[in-house]
Amino acid sequence: MLAKRIIPCLDVKNGRVVKGKNFSGLADVDDPVALAEKYSDGGADELVFYDITASAEGRKLFTDVLRRTAERVFIPLTVGGGINCTDDFAAALDSGADKVSVNSGAIADPGIIDRAAAKYGSQCVVLSVDVKRSGGGFTVFSHGGRVDTGLRAEAWIKQGEQRGAGEIVINSMDTDGVKRGFDLEMLAALTRAVDIPVVASGGAGCIDDFVELFKNSNADAGLGASVFHYGEIAFCDLKRALKNNGIAVRI
């Protein structure tokens, strides 16, 4: 059994880590570089950085923050925000990212997935999808959850896999920041659509939520934010609990 991954997510706005609820009500948390280093030293398996306003503001990714982080952090780093062409992939990778997450840019131009996978390899291409219940199904939103694309999530992530994405991040807008558990219903529906690794995001509130995630879904990794930012879960305690429940993790 492949080890399940625990991934802190750092949403960055104006050079600071922020966190909200249901993609709104953002509150300041900490310096992104200092927090990333803390998580790396504390036992996180990977890190995800999202420049959450880059697409909405029509600007490029924050490569300055990324470079400073890569100099001090030595676990895999995924970065997203404002990724719209292969040059943006190049800038992120050259600045220290191991993987690049594309969301709104892929919705506007799905061919970016094909081109990036062909140039840099599928292992570098992560399709991040913001999903919300709508019209009796699961609908994809873009621009930081601000725009309803009308795309059905199952079809979109399947297309992403076919185009060459090596990993999917499913962000449940319905459970984001609520801390009542991952969206297992959504994950059950969407993980069936693809064969590549899926990272579950949105809803982590306690250690048991991660246990339930890995016991009751096909997710390959669990992503959390505020539970780590505010010291509510320590990585050593979380991994010990997962191991005690028969879930393979890297200790």
Residues acting as catalytic residues = 11, 130
Six-digit token string for 111: 């061919």
Q: Provide CB contacts within 8 A for 199, sequence distance 6+.
A: 5, 7, 167, 168, 169, 170, 219, 220, 221, 222, 223
Calpha distance 189→137 (Å, rounded): 10
Calpha distance 16→89 (Å, rounded): 22
* H runs (alpha helix) in the chain: 32-42, 54-57, 63-70, 86-94, 104-108, 111-120, 153-163, 184-191, 207-216, 226-229, 235-244
